[in-house]
Amino acid sequence: MSRKFRLATLLKIRERERDQAGQAVSDALIAIAKMDDAKRDIDEQNRAMDELRKQSSNGLISLGQILDAQRYQLVLAAQAAHIAQDRSLLVQELERRQAKLLKCQQSVKSLEKLRDNRFAAEDELALKKEQERLDEWSNTRVASTSAESTAAESATPAHL
């Protein structure tokens, strides 16, 4: 007996939506990780410029190099601010995507539960029918055995 769930197509659609939502969450996490890497790179470059300016106090670097380093640090600061703003937007998008993923997961779970309950009801009905069939067969068997034993008793002559 093949089982068919009438909402199987809807379940497949919901599973596909859930998988796509999961991929969207994963993409957002990857984008945030890239932003974090870029911020770390900027921080590292900023530390290098700080080190360069410290060397200038020893008189090893010219004034032009110091000014270039300071200008570059301003550019780095602007990039860091831009990355922080973009990361904030990405975090908001991640939260939205996670909420959608949760909604999709709940939808899939409810359909799976509906399917499982339907199959359980079918199993219970099939077991009930099987039990009724076995009970009927058993009653028929008992009745035929009883009839045979009654016929056998009436066919034997009573000698006493």
Model's pTM, two decimal places?
0.68
Distance CA 52, CA 60 (A): 9
What is the token pair recorded at 143?
């009745």
- What does the pLDDT look like over 22-32, one tens digit per residue? 999 999 999 99
Distance CA 32, CA 86 (A): 9
Helix (H, G, I), strand (E, B) or coil at 5: coil
Distance CA 96, CA 108 (A): 19
The domains of the chain, with CATH numbers, are 8-109 (1.10.287)
Distance CA 7, CA 107 (A): 12
- What does the pLDDT look like over 37-80, one tens digit per residue? 999 999 999 998 888 777 776 666 677 777 888 898 999 999 99
Q: Is the pLDDT assigned to residue 90 strictly greater than 60?
A: yes
Confidence of residue 151 (pLDDT cuts 50, 70, 90): low
Please report the pLDDT score of residue 59 as a whole number. Answer: 65
Cα first-last separation, the chain: 60
What is the token pair recorded at 47?
């530390």
Q: Is the pLDDT assigned to residue 1 strictly greater than 60?
A: no
Mean pLDDT of the 104-127 span: 94
Please report the pLDDT score of residue 156 as a whole number. Answer: 62
